[in-house]
Chains A and B, each alone.
Chain A
Amino acid sequence: MIADDSLIAARNLSLHFGSIPALVDVSVDLWPGEVLAVVGESGSGKTTLLNVLSGRMRPDEGVVWYRDPAGSLADVHTMPAPALRALHRSDWGFVQQDPRAALRMAVTAGGNVGERLMAQGARHYGNIRAEAIDWLRQVEIDENRVDDLPRNFSGGMLQRLQIARTLVTHPRLVFMDEPTGGLDVSVQARLLDLIRSLVARLNLAAVLVTHDLSVARLLAHRIVVMQRGVAVETGLTDQVLDDPQHPYTQLLVSSVLQA
């Protein structure tokens, strides 16, 4: 049963790495403009779920449906490779935990942001550069840095640059893998605020993998709690966090230090 207006509908996903279950019969829905957090401890299958949903990893069983802008459903894992790559270049975005792995460190900030535009066929230098500057401003990077190499950027700036690079093609759906991981707390707060306002303003749908429940609370509408590959609990973010039903979720929530 797939809702008429869902953006992503994943059904009965299973994946094993040898004898280790990474996903066990997981079903997930995502609607336009909705942020879904996937939480759980390391090794619970969060990132695997993200990779399977985004078509980067093929499940043993199950199917991931994606509804394109024209409204028709496509199976992410059986669509032709060019179609999937085209999705990743335009309609989808991927924000990795380590921006150094996603960015071209020997290419200027402007070139990094402009790359996806050029991949889509933009061939006007002035326009590409103007758009890159606009996006740097939107992620709160001084436009004077447009010609600087990212190797001179701080960790928080790098992550914001990665976000600008991802959003420049106006994707409808962004996959984020621990986007605030590895950053100082003060930098994290700024980034969270930025992601939250961008998601709301651009009406982005997002799948957000995080082990940090407070990140999930601030950004996500809904939450999926993963344990050993099983989606043990899913629901409204504040409902799951304030009134957890499953023993594992109760453990997870009670383990968080209250600041």
Chain B
Amino acid sequence: MNEILQGYNFAYLDEQTKRMLRRALLKAVAIPGHQIPFGSREMPLPYGWGTGGIQVTAAVLGPNDVLKVIDQGADDTTNAVSIRRFFAKTAGVATTTDTATATIIQTRHRIPEFPLSENQILVYQVPQPEPLSKLEPSRGETRRMHALAEYGSMHVRLYEDITRFGHVAISYDYPVMVGGRYLMAPSPIPAFDNPKLHMMPALQLFGAGREKRIYAIPPYTNVRSLDFDDHPFCAGRAPHPCGLCGSETSYLDEVVVDNKGGRLFVCSDTDYCETRRAAGHVGADA
């Protein structure tokens, strides 16, 4: 359906670069949650638009893969459309918006609502891979802290939140412990999505282009959100049903619909919402 651009290697990157990326990915899968440095390349999009994710996708993409790209859950935003079109042109792979048929899903800031399977790979775009960066500015020191599993200071941050607000006020990029060993930043997904990281059947890969780091969560890995015994982790969600499909369990976006203060809560996962509506679910505002 797409015309493949002539003069480019399959999936844009040269084979040596993909080899380097795959080595980093293998290492990342072998040490779940541990950040692996890699030689990040210049990509034809600016930092912050998914240069890390796009390189990881390019490294794992094969001719028979079906690619889905979402940005904040939506398939139809500029970033998602551009990246999807980029791989359609440079690799000639099939693309889709359907979560179930995709084999590789590149995502920015969300995990799809439909459960993923063992045959799928989820690629995250990561702006800041270091969960300790807010507490400890020195890279050398954070590496030592990871090496020695000294994560007590991370709990200081949670302690401060509970002291000030009565609960942990981290609403996205909520830090997790992977496999009981490494503290990891799950990228800016909402804390609502954190439970999905745990024991996910799909392989999860994380790419940070500007920071030049790759990390991974292999299938069926224990992922625990940091918390206190007496203040257990709880995933928050706006207390409304989706205005379009009526879902009471999905993560919602708040959309301002007019300039008189009118607003609408809709599923952030557009594919999930459309699939439900196609099946006959109707929300109050549909």
Q: Give the B-binding residues of A (Cβ under 8 A).
A: 81-82, 85, 89, 104, 107-108, 110-111, 114-116, 118-121, 123-129, 147
- Could you tell me the dominant secondary structure of chain B's interface residues? helix
Total residue contacts A-B, CB cutoff 8 A = 56
Find chain A residues with CB under 8 A from B155 CB: 118, 123
Are A123 and B159 touching (Cβ within 8 A)? Answer: no
1/0 per position for B143-180, CB-CB distance to A under 8 A? 01000101011011001101110000000000000000
Are A118 and B160 touching (Cβ within 8 A)? Answer: no
- Could you tell me the dominant secondary structure of chain A's interface residues? helix
Min C-beta distance of B132 to chain A, whole Å? 13
Are A114 and B230 touching (Cβ within 8 A)? Answer: no
1/0 per position for B219-252, CB-CB distance to A under 8 A? 0000000011111000000000000000000000
**Assuming A124-B229, A147-B163, is B152 touching A111 (CB within 8 A)?**
no
Interchain CB contact (< 8 A) of A125 among B148, B150, B164, B228: B228
8 A–B contacts from the bound complex (CB under 8 Å): A85-B148, A111-B159, A111-B160, A114-B156, A128-B159, A128-B228, A147-B163, A147-B164
Are B163 and A108 touching (Cβ within 8 A)? Answer: yes
Interface size on B, residues (CB 8 A): 17
**Assuming A123-B228, A124-B230, is B150 touching A118 (CB within 8 A)?**
no
- Bound Cα distance A89, B145 (Å): 13
Min C-beta distance of A70 to chain B, whole Å? 21
- Bound Cα distance A120, B150 (Å): 9
**Assuming A81-B148, A118-B156, A120-B152, is B230 touching A111 (CB within 8 A)?**
no
- Bound Cα distance A15, B81 (Å): 64
- In order of increasing CB-CB distance, the 5 nearest A-B pairs are A119-B152, A118-B155, A125-B228, A118-B152, A124-B229
Find chain A residues with CB under 8 A from B229 CB: 123-125
Find chain B residues with CB under 8 A from A125 CB: 159, 162, 228-231
Are B156 and A104 touching (Cβ within 8 A)? Answer: yes
Find chain B residues with CB under 8 A from A104 CB: 156
Are A110 and B163 touching (Cβ within 8 A)? Answer: yes
- Give the residue name and chain of the A residue nearest to B145 (CB): A85
Are A115 and B162 touching (Cβ within 8 A)? Answer: no
Are A114 and B228 touching (Cβ within 8 A)? Answer: no
1/0 per position for B199-228, CB-CB distance to A under 8 A? 000000000000000000000000000011
Which of B148, B155, B227 lies at the interface centre, i.e. has the most chain A CB atoms within 10 A of its CB? B155
A110-B159, A125-B162, A127-B230 known; 20 other A-B pairs, CB under 8 Å?
Answer: A82-B148, A85-B150, A89-B150, A89-B152, A108-B163, A108-B164, A111-B160, A114-B159, A115-B152, A116-B152, A118-B153, A119-B153, A120-B152, A121-B152, A123-B155, A123-B229, A124-B229, A125-B159, A125-B229, A128-B159
